[in-house]
Structure 1
């Protein structure tokens, strides 16, 4: 994968009819994590840690920061947060693929400077298995 424009990384949330891009995001990030299961014991070679392959819990976290631009997607994000809803989401990574699955909004923050625009920060956590489709 060669160099890509950051603005081409998209976060989309399902609105009941289809996936809608979260408008106004200036930055976005997806991170994958896996917990490790330590099975080290008294007879481990030279007391080196041993791990159990494939046993840990996997999760994905999406975060973004931006400004209000589109009333419909803003309302969708706010309502999903206040409802505590788990929504289908997509993250489109250019020249890589589309990651899709259920996510819940873990935090939604608003900020504003006296002489600037109101911005928001959003963080989502995976709530089930994810799929990947190469593009």
Structure 2
């Protein structure tokens, strides 16, 4: 496989008619995390930590940073944040597949320099099962 263009990694939000690409993003990030359940005990081999297979909470985090374009997807993201709603999102990873699941926006920030453009940062946390479909 060859290297992929970062601009082709897309975050999409369900808009009622399908999925809309979140506008203006220059950077995007998807992270998966899992907690461990430590089951180490006095008889663990040489006191090495033991972990319980398949236990613990899994979660996914989405984040992005970009230009505020005042597009329809910007309005949908703002309203989703203010409503505290959980929406379905897709993350398209080029030549790899699509990650899909319910997420809640946990942070939405806007910034602007006097002689620059308005930018925004968004962060989301999974709110249910996240699935993967290979490309």
Give the Cα–Cα distance (whole angstroms) in 2 for the partners of residues 78 and 32 of structure 1: 24
Contact 1:107 1:123 in 2 (8 A): yes
- Residue by residue over 1:32-61, the C-alpha shift from the partner in whole angstroms, topping out at 9 and shown as x without a partner, is 000000000111111100000110100000
Where does 1:53-72 land on structure 2 (aligned, <5 Å)?
Answer: 53-72=53-72
Secondary structure of the structure 1 residue equivalent to 2:38: coil
1:15 Cα deviation after fit: 1.0
Aligned residues: 135
Q: Runs in 1 of length 4+ with deviation above 3 angstroms?
A: none
Asked whether 1:118 is paired with 2:128, we answer no
Which consecutive residues of structure 2, in runs of 5 or more, have no partner in the other structure?
none
Could you tell me how far apart the structure 2 residues matched to 1:56 and 1:81 are?
A: 28
1:100 equivalenced with 2:106 (yes/no)? no
Please report how far the alpha carbon of residue 70 of structure 1 lies from its aligned counterpart in structure 2 after TM superposition.
4.5
Q: How far apart in 2 are the matches of 1:2 and 1:55? A: 35
Q: Which runs of 5+ in 1 are unaligned?
A: none
Cα distance in 2 for partners of 1:109, 1:52 equals 38
Q: Is the 8 A contact 1:24 1:70 kept in 2?
A: no
Does 1:6 find its partner at 2:9? no
Does residue 85 (structure 1) correspond to residue 85 (structure 2)? The answer is yes
**With structure 1 as the length reference, what TM-score do the two structures score?**
0.97
- Alpha-carbon separation, structure 2, partners of 1:9 and 1:71: 19
